[in-house]
Structure 1
């Protein structure tokens, strides 16, 4: 049984919106939407409340198998999105509402539920002499719920553009700066304060071997 499909059909039959059902079961509409599409599992308590509200009858064995299967299907998978999408992250309640992901990738480290992946553009963060270096086309994993600290590698949106930029954050007292890792990059370090919004902290790099 595809429990997500069953839940969606039962919800629509009752005339309930995603938001209404999510409120009733104690989750958010984004989580519920992903569950209905088979992209995310649900906790036992949440799933049981959902089935009760929708009057869906399944056996305890089916309940366990459906829930575990959905959870395992997306463990570690995050969406690869565009720089435009990353730049408008703060303007949407759920990254999946921005549009379909280019593809889904396994994140190699522990990450928050809203983590996404981006393909690096340009060579501003390229410095092969240092520990961290990012070439054009490399893929990074970005966690918007991770706190940005001094020397964090971050994705930020500047107020004068709708797109994001990938740089290293430098904090000196009350001042914040963005720095390109490429030592030859023009205007390598520039100050930011109210003119930039952090869209997430880079937590890993995807390096396929094939």
Structure 2
């Protein structure tokens, strides 16, 4: 079976919600949009796609979990109440939910915790999906350099080019891999948080790099919960 484009999946799911709502006009009222706007991305020949921000807005308005609109339900059977179940499974079997988080730069990550909105304008241009549901605001950060590349045979080892998912809602305890901002730096750094003699440090997995002392000016932004490497 060919994989559908995300734009087609969102369109089909949005049309399904409109059907449940009683038509595009009711759908438009539900998401606080004009019917003419709806026709642009939901009509017979859409001229616009449902973007990330609008997709999340639609999910919120219909009480759906984040990422719901991005899941392909074409091999599922809809039961009463709008829930979806796979056709060949018992009603208790639910489809895997995927969540999409923005990919941001180290500079953007350095300012992430200061943002009033989940992420500043421009960050939403690129996303990566995962089945991990974050406890707080979350983002993907691409690893630069070899400071987190451990010696051969040692684990974990996170080479340059990997993506780490950072959850700002998890407590940063010693032993965790964290993203932190050092002093007044404009950039964030990805290191392991350790404690020695009552003092906290940021430690690279590559022993060639020195320890960084967290002297009160080290701001932990979030904890890495997942890593992926693209070949």
Give the shorter-chain TM-score range: 0.5 to 0.7
The one of 87, 103, 108 aligned to 1:85: 108
CA contact (8 A) 1:35 1:42 kept: no
CA 1:5 to 1:35, structure 2 compared with 1: closer, same or farther past 3 Å? farther
The superposition leaves residues 54-94 of structure 1 with CA deviations (integer Å, 9 ceiling, x where unpaired) of xxxxxxx9xx65x98xxx9x832111111111100121122
**Bigger RCO of structures 1 and 2 (CA < 8 A, at least 6 apart):** 1
The one of 138, 144, 150 aligned to 1:115: 138
CA 1:199 to 1:144, structure 2 compared with 1: closer, same or farther past 3 Å? same
CA contact (8 A) 2:136 2:170 kept: no
Which runs of structure 1 show a deviation greater than 6 angstroms over 4 or more consecutive aligned residues? none
SS in structure 1 at match of 2:109? helix
Q: Tell me, in whole angstroms, the C-alpha distance in 2 between the residues paired with 1:85 and 1:156.
A: 12
Matches within 5 A, 1:126-205: 126-127=149-150, 128-172=152-196, 174-185=198-209, 188-205=210-227
The superposition leaves residues 109-155 of structure 1 with CA deviations (integer Å, 9 ceiling, x where unpaired) of 34225111010011111114311111111111000111111111000
Q: Tell me, in whole angstroms, the C-alpha distance in 2 between the residues paired with 1:147 and 1:135.
A: 24
Q: Tell me, in whole angstroms, the C-alpha distance in 2 between the residues paired with 1:119 and 1:36.
A: 22
TM-score w.r.t. structure 1 length?
0.66
RMSD (Å) for aligned C-alpha atoms: 3.2
The one of 49, 57, 60 aligned to 1:42: 60
CA contact (8 A) 2:203 2:212 kept: yes
Q: Tell me, in whole angstroms, the C-alpha distance in 1 between the residues paired with 2:186 and 2:52.
A: 30
SS in structure 2 at match of 1:80? strand
My pick for the range that moved more, 170-179 or 160-169, is 170-179
Looking at CA atoms only, which structure, 1 or 2, has the larger radius of gyration? 2
Which 5+ residue runs of structure 1 have no aligned equivalent? 11-33, 48-60
Matches within 5 A, 1:12-27: none
Q: Tell me, in whole angstroms, the C-alpha distance in 2 between the residues paired with 1:143 and 1:159.
A: 21
The one of 78, 101, 105 aligned to 2:128: 105
